[in-house]
Amino acid sequence: MATSSVSKGCFVFKPNFKKRKISVPQLQEELNKNLFDSLIEFLRKSYSGFQKSSRDWGCQIKLREIPTAALILGVNVTDHDLTFRSLTEALQNNVSPYVVSLQAKDCPDMKHFLQKLVSQLMDCCVDEETKEGSIQVAQKKTHCSMDSLSSWYTNVTRKTDPKMPRKKRTSSSQWQSPPVVLILKDMESFTTKVLQDFIIISSQHLHEFPLILIFGIATSPIIIHRLLPHAVSSLLCIELFQSLSCKEHLTTVLDKLLLTTQFPFKLSEKVLQILTNIFLYHDFSIQNFIKGLQFSLLEHFYSQPLSVLCCNLPEAKRRINFLSDNQCENIRRLPSFRRYVEKQASEKQVALLTNERFLKEEIQSLLENLHVYHSNYFLVLRCLHQFTSSLPKYPLGRQIRELYCTCLEKNIWDSEEYVSALQLLRMLAKDELMTILQKCFKIFKSTSEKQLGSTAKRIEEFLAQFQNLDEAKEEEDTSGSLSKGLQKTDLYHLQKSLLEMKELRRTNKKQTRFEVLREKVVNFIDSLVREYLLPPETQPLHEVVYFTAAHTLREHLNAAPRIALHTALNNPYYYLKNEALKSEEGCIPNVAPDICIAYKLHLECSRLINLVDWSEAFATVVTAAEKTDADSATSEERNEIIHARFIRAVSELELLGFIKPTKQKTDHVARLTWGGC
Amino acid sequence: MMSKLELKEDRMLEVQFVGDDDVLNHILDREAGAKLKKERTQLLVNTKKIIKKPEYDLEEDDQEVLKDQNYVEVLGRDIQESLKNGSAADGGNKVYSFQNRKHSEKMAKLASELAKTPRKNVSLSLKNDPEIMNIPQCSKGHSASDNVQLKNNDKSATAPSGLKKRLIVPRSHSDSESEYSTSNSEDDDGVAQENEEDTNKVILNQKIPSQNRAVSAPVCKETPSKKMKRDKTSDLVEEYFEAHSSSKVLTSDRTLQKLKRAKLDQQTLRNLLSKVSPSFSAELKQLSQQYEQLFHKWMLQLRLGFNIVLYGLGSKRDLLERFRTTVLQDSIHVVINGFFPGISVKSILNSITEEVLNHMGTFRSVLDQLDWIVNKFKEDSSLELFLLIHNLDSQMLRGDKSQQIIGQLSSLRNIYLIASIDHLNAPLMWDHAKQSLYNWLWYETTTYSPYTEETSYENSLLVKQSGSLPLSSLIHVLRSLTPNARGIFRLLIKYQLENLDNPSYIGLSFQDFYQQCREAFLVNSDLTLRAQLTEFRDHKLIRTKKGTDGVEYLLIPVDNGTLSDFLEREEEES
């Protein structure tokens, strides 16, 4: 154990990292803020409902029913903390200063439960009033019971009541005596007995100690009834609140962070896929998702030298002027930029490759183009999502993130799904089409971009045409029926005219005005998609803002230590690039590191391994390997050394958890793994 | 020439050609008990590699693997993509596949094969070996007939009768003769198979060191028909339970005592190992240089709220030490050697409160202490602390509570944690909640360097405890005791040392001990003595044993060398 406390001093990063370091936390904060906002929004919603209902419960308090809110939060337990924190804040601001949250692990029994409750309540109280530390300490050690709690409560409310008007507390003014809100963060893990006892006791004291319970539930509301017998649950007046599902959270986060031009940083298709897959297949944790996002951001700024330009447009333009020769060279080396240069006229090519100033100007315009590309991209993407999200069977996915992934990956119009989606679009009914168009119109209207402003106009026109269609049709219908009614014909003529009409209708069928219009709309959308939803790889300088290193993300976030160990033991050549270690699949050369050999040998054993056999087998292999350079030392000494090496290898394997000593048989070890690893 | 058939576990049949002379030699030599293993092994014609075959060629498994791969693809794991990470090199199917049942000889067999492989690429020479014939699937009848042939041959040969008997009547061997034993050796009626297996053993025995003389009937429950069943998945399951449910394990009975070099102590072990020149030093150096380039990146990531965990084969201690010396010189940091057997979360927290925060008070509980530290760090954002933990997964720290506490520490914004893990199942320590506390970034750092420090504290199987560690812990524990208690303990030590040469010494009886203590004015009632003894027992300083006469005997379970060292040290100090 070595503790070294050296003088306090901050590690200073190399200056060129500094700039990035500043921008990273900034962005991170914004990341978190966005998430938090969405959470608060949700809480407000559930909370307002809660407040309303808790008022109604006022009358029920006399009936000894504890008002209870069951908050169903979903399985992403790691996110709950954040939710509860903001919930506590919101409650403290709006309902009552006395908000206590308890966790199951703090309350193994009733005594601890009450102790925790009391100490936290006192803390709340101290926060509210001026700090009275000395009393605090004394109270902490007093015996805690419900009686003492309720007497404390009456005490406090009496004390604070006269102060109330002076302080003008908005929160407490609604309540003459603010209730105590008790949050049980993880209801499932509480012991049944503690919960039951507490509920029964507190219901007895409810008239003097107004209590509101909030259960945090990760699974399903049935758990309440499973934990509490009827006699107990009848003491509760339970209202269910469902939190936003984590998938919806994900959508909001993506929407606010990635599908916007506000943040220049973007993820490539693979990275996004990995992040969403970790989310969907592993933990449903928004927190982890944000972590992944933060990590990719960090990695991007760290590994991509041109990420200096990954900031908002004016700042980037300013930074372009300060680009060093080296950085210019880096830009010239970007594959996307080279592709761009190749497309230019030869004079321009030369200028781009030699003239720094010209290059910088060009970069500015390119970055601007990139920005425009993105803003158009997201508009069209959202628009397309409006169209495809309601199609049967969701050929392009139900969520916008799925659509985004496909669009990032390739030209979406080449995909079969897109073709089938368009076919389905051509069959949409009018009112559906109109609602979608209206939504799209709203999307486009929200921007001020020139090109897409015209799009909004086009959509408006379409909408108007649809409306006209209605009127026109009505007119047509009425005129048609009128003319028909007036005509007088004989049977032959009637037959003839009917045939004619049939013919006419058939040809007309293809060209109903509605159908023509629908076709037009679909084609219009198609053209929009083809124009604006180009994959980002086609854009010059996309490397500046897109993070593509999906494998590093996976390596560091979703690592597989067991497989790494397996590889290292089975195939040392993978790490030590020495020709002597090269071997075919599944076997190991005898010059491999000792531990690899010992490991390989132990794989051949069943549950128990005889150490003597093992050591002899090991010695056989190792002596064979040494044969060429042997004969220098005496054989006895060599054997000793080999034995020592064997001991080391065995104890290393023990440390790694492959074997353990056993008493089943003398000088045996037990294997702890089953199978190849 | 005569051919022998070998039936492998992998349902691969291989034919070996062994000259008659070789067989003869082998038998004679086994009878003589001469040690000629090297020559023997070289005489053997090389067999094909028998390294455990992964099971993916089975149909049912194929599907499983496919499913796995789907999942893997879904995760975006692209094998080609990552070159740095070992995890990509092998698919999960090999790591997590079931093993076949093993027989004890396999190890020796594999060893001899590995030994025989020339330094350079082996596979080629093996493949070109004209003498090896692979018969992929062979009927039972065939092998049985071969067996008969073999028996006849053996009969005609001038083999000693004992062995011959064993070969002809495989089940007739007596257990006393055999060095292999199971807890209950099974007599199966699948004669053909047993024969086969037995002949197998005979061949194998050539490779096993000659000490290994007799062979017992293998435990082979599977009847041939069962074996032929193609339902592989259920087979695998059965195999698993077969190997794990019964207590019968077939291993040889040899013990280390029969070997000359049994246990080495820590010091000699180190001396011996220091003579070994490490191989592949150039490559290892390259690896470590590669990791050193990451130091600044780690630093950045630590400062941004991530914590770093290193995994991979090989001691990461040196790497972390270098990290510490190169980049942490100017910051406050605490190094925690998790592999140290005396480490506990309490001591970690103590060193933080006492030495980093210069707090001299005591705390009621570990949680209180944690709360205090957390508050301190939250209040003062200028405070920064780097925690370096070697072996976060060590015995002492892997408990749920310890991990929770360390996780809570690491989740603080101004505490930066960089740790290493080694154990195969280390990631199982962390559930979702803990993982989010830790906020890990994983780095693979396979170093292949020996775990010298990490294993030196371990009660290793083959290492004789030299006593250096118990001595220090003895001193440590006794310093915390009252002088009287120390006196009591010293009495016991002295008595034990006096009876050094008495082989029938089982300890000091409680009554005698009480008398002695009274005479030395150390205790005044037997209750005080008992209380004291309880404390010793809690520290595992003494052991009590009921003698045949029902009297309690006290014994110090520490070797005498250590005890006398301890006494000397005590006397020096006083």
CATH T-level topology, domain B463-573 = Arc Repressor Mutant, subunit A (1.10.10)
Phi-psi region of B74 (alpha: psi -120 to 50; beta: other; left: phi over 0): alpha
Q: What predicted TM-score, i.e. pTM, was given to this entire model?
A: 0.68
Per-residue pLDDT of A346-403, as tens digits, reads 888 888 888 888 888 888 888 888 888 888 888 888 888 888 888 888 888 888 888 8
| Mean pLDDT, residues A56-73 taken together | 64
Residue of B405, B310, B430, B403 lying closest to A283 (CA atoms):
B430
Contact B254 A612 (CB under 8 A): yes
Strand partners for A188: none
Overall size of chain A counted in residues: 677
Q: Does B119 touch chain A (CB under 8 A)?
A: yes
Q: Which residue is closest to A591 within chain B, CA to CA?
A: B119
pLDDT of residue B310: 93
Q: Give the Cα separation of A168 and A189 in Å (integer).
A: 40
Alpha-carbon gap: A105 to the closest alpha carbon of chain B (Å): 11
> What is the nearest CA distance from A652 to chain B, expressed in angstroms?
6
Helix (H), strand (E) at residue A599: helix A594-602
Mapping DSSP to helix (H, G, I), strand (E, B) and coil, where does residue B28 land? helix
What is the Cα–Cα distance from A342 to A363, expressed in whole angstroms? 15
Distances (CA, A) of A593 to A572, A605, A640: 8, 20, 18
Q: Does B111 touch chain A (CB under 8 A)?
A: yes
Q: What whole-number distance in Å separates Cα of residue A439 and Cα of residue A130?
A: 54
Nearest CA in chain A to B278: A593
- Please give the span between the terminal C-alpha atoms of chain B, in angstroms, as a whole number: 81
Please tell me the least confidently modeled range out of A84-88, A442-446, B119-123, B423-427: B119-123
Residue A342 to residue A350: CA distance in whole angstroms = 10
Cα-trace Rg, chain A: 36
Is A7 a residue whose pLDDT tops 70? no
**Per-residue pLDDT reduced to its tens digit, A560-580:** 888 888 888 888 888 888 877
The angle, 0 to 180 degrees and rounded to 10, between the axes of the packed helices B317-327 and B281-292 is 40
Strand ranges (E), B340-427: 385-390, 415-420
What's residue B249's pLDDT? 60
Cβ pair A667:B254 closer than 8 A: yes
ipTM of this complex: 0.78
CA–CA separation, B178 and B166 (whole Å) = 11
Check if B350 contacts A (Cβ < 8 Å): no
H-state helical runs in A426-490: 430-445, 450-486
Which residue among B104, B297, B454 sits closest to A613, beta carbon to beta carbon? B104
Q: Is A75 on the interface with B (CB under 8 A)?
A: no
Of A555, A563, A615, the CB nearest to B95: A563
Across A434-443, average pLDDT: 85
Q: Which residues of A touch B71 (CB under 8 A)?
A: 281
> What's the pLDDT at B91?
43
What CA–CA distance (Å, rounded) separates A281 from A271?
Answer: 15
Taking the Cβ of residue A608 and every Cβ of chain B, the question of whether any pair is shorter than 8 Å is answered with yes
Asked if A654 and B252 come within 8 Å (Cβ–Cβ), the reply is no
Residue from the list A278, A563, A667 with its beta carbon closest to the beta carbon of B90: A563
Residues 6+ apart with CB under 8 A from A105: A189
**What CATH number should be reported for the domain whose range is B280-444?**
3.40.50.300
Give the per-residue pLDDT at A541.
86
Range from A5-9, A490-494, A514-518, B428-432 that averages highest in pLDDT: B428-432
pLDDT at A137: 44
B74–chain A Cβ distance below 8 A for any pair: yes
Contact predicate B390/B338, CB 8 Å: yes
In chain B, the residue whose alpha carbon lies closest to the alpha carbon of A559 is B442
Q: How many CB atoms lie within 10 A of CB B60?
A: 15
The answer to whether residues B311 and B442 touch, using CB atoms and an 8 Å cutoff, is yes
Q: Amino acid identity, residue B251?
A: T
| Predicted local distance difference test score (pLDDT) of residue B155 | 39
Give pLDDT, residue A41. Answer: 53
Q: Which of B255, B436, B458 sits opposite A654 (nearest CB)?
A: B458
Q: What average pLDDT score do residues A87-102 get?
A: 76
Q: In this complex, do B313 and A644 lie within 8 Å of one another by their Cβ atoms?
A: no
Q: Is the model more confident about A182 or about B88?
A: A182
pLDDT at A395: 84
The per-residue pLDDT for B536 is: 83
Q: Which of A251-255, A523-527, B424-428, B531-535 has the lowest mean pLDDT?
A: A251-255
pLDDT digits (tens, 9 = 90+) for A372-382: 888 888 888 88
The pLDDT, as a whole number, for residue A214 is 82
Residues of A in contact with B291 (CB under 8 A): none
- The sheet carrying B552-555 orders its strands as B508-509, B552-555, B543-546
Q: H or E stretch including B202?
A: helix B191-207
**Within B253-388, where are the H helices?**
266-274, 281-292, 295-303, 317-327, 345-350, 366-379
* Apex B104 CA angle, B100 and B105, nearest 5: 105
Interval A618-661: pLDDT, tens = 888 888 877 655 555 567 788 888 888 888 888 888 888 888 88
Residues of B in contact with A645 (CB under 8 A): 273, 276
Residue B442 confidence (pLDDT): 92
All residues of chain B having their beta carbon less than 8 Å from the beta carbon of residue A296 are none
Give contacts of B392 with chain A, Cβ < 8 Å. Answer: none
**Which pLDDT does position B45 carry in this prediction?**
35
| Arithmetic mean of pLDDT over chain A | 75
Handedness of CA B526, B528, B534, B539 (dihedral sign): negative
**Burial of B242 (C-beta count, 10 Å sphere; 0-12/13-18/19+):** middle
Domain ranges of chain B: 280-444, 463-573
- B109: contact with A, CB 8 A cutoff: yes
Q: Strands B264-265 and B251-252: what pairing? A: unpaired
| Per-residue model confidence (pLDDT) at position B420 | 93
Model confidence pLDDT, tens digit, residues A270-308? 999 999 998 888 888 877 888 888 888 888 888 888 877
B265-269: long-range contacts (C-beta < 8 A, 24 or more apart)? Answer: B265/B463, B265/B464, B265/B465, B265/B466, B266/B456, B266/B463, B266/B464, B266/B465, B266/B466, B266/B468, B267/B466, B268/A644, B269/A644, B269/A647, B269/A648, B269/B463
Top mean pLDDT of A150-164, A238-252, A404-418 is at: A404-418
The two three-digit tokens of residue A220, written as one number: 């399903």
Q: Is A651 in contact with B94 (Cβ distance < 8 A)?
A: no
For residue A676, list chain B residues with Cβ-Cβ distance below 8 A.
52, 54, 94-97, 99
Considering CB atoms only, which of A10, A558, A604 is closest to B102? A604
pLDDT at residue A454 tops 60:
yes
Q: DSSP readout, B69-98?
A: HHHHHHTT--TTT-SS-GGGTS-HHHHHSP
User: A8 vs B569, which has greater pLDDT?
Assistant: B569
Residue pair B74/B68 in contact by the 8 Å Cβ criterion = no
Query: Closest Cα partner for A138 from A125, A116, A122?
Result: A122
Higher-confidence residue: A160 or A345? Answer: A345
What distance, in Å, lies between the first and last C-alpha atoms of chain A?
33
pLDDT one digit per residue (tens) for chain B, 574 residues: 444 444 334 444 444 455 555 544 554 444 444 333 333 333 333 333 333 344 334 344 444 444 444 444 444 444 334 334 444 444 444 554 444 444 556 667 777 777 665 443 333 333 333 333 333 333 333 433 344 343 444 433 333 433 333 333 333 333 333 344 443 333 333 333 444 444 444 344 444 343 333 333 333 334 444 444 445 566 667 766 766 665 556 667 776 666 655 566 677 777 777 877 777 888 888 888 999 988 988 988 888 888 999 999 988 989 999 999 988 888 888 888 888 877 888 888 988 888 888 888 888 888 888 888 988 898 888 888 899 999 898 888 888 889 999 999 998 888 999 999 998 888 888 988 888 888 899 999 998 888 888 877 655 555 554 444 566 677 777 777 888 888 888 888 888 888 877 777 878 888 888 998 898 888 888 888 888 888 888 877 788 888 778 888 888 877 777 788 788 877 777 6
Residue A177's nearest CA partner among A200, A150, A202, A203 is: A150
Q: Spell out the residues 6+ positions from residue A368 whose beta carbon is closer than 8 angstroms to its own.
A: A313
Burial class of residue A131 in the structure, from the number of CB atoms within 10 Å of its CB (0-12 exposed, 13-18 middle, 19+ buried):
exposed
Phi, psi dihedrals of residue A258, rounded to the nearest 5°: -105, -40
How far is it, in rounded angstroms, from Cα A259 to Cα A265? 10
CB pairs under 8 A between A and B: 401
Given a cut of 90, whether residue A147 has pLDDT beyond it is no
Residue with tokens 């530390």: A133
Residue B384: partners with Cβ closer than 8 Å, 6 or more residues away = A8, A10, B331, B332, B414, B415, B416
State whether A611 and B333 contact (CB < 8 Å): no
CA-CA distance, B367 to B352, in Å (whole number)? 14
pLDDT of amino acid B309: 93
What is the distance between the alpha carbons of residues A383 and A527, in angstroms, rounded to a whole number? 13
Cβ–Cβ of A561/B333 closer than 8 Å?
no
Distances (CA, A) of B181 to A644, A659, B184, B214, B217: 28, 22, 8, 10, 9
Q: How far is CA A86 from the centre of its chain?
A: 19
DSSP secondary structure code for residue B213 in this structure: -
Cα–Cα distance for residue pair A219/A530, rounded to 1 Å: 45
What are the tokens at A312?
A: 């908002």
* Beta-carbon-side half-sphere exposure of residue A110 (alpha carbons within 13 Å): 15
Question: Contact B225/B257 with Cβ under 8 angstroms?
Answer: no
Reported in sequence order, the residue ranges of B484-566 that DSSP labels E, i.e. its strands, are 508-509, 543-546, 552-555
Pick among A606, A615, A640, A641 to test the B interface (most B CBs inside 10 A): A606
- Closest to B556 measured CA to CA, from B539, B543, B538, B571: B543
Report the pLDDT value the prediction gives residue B406, as an integer from 0 to 100: 92
Shortest Cα–Cα distance, B493 to chain A (Å): 29
CA B53/CA A366 separation, integer angstroms = 56
CA nearest neighbour of A184 among A218, A233, A146, A148: A218
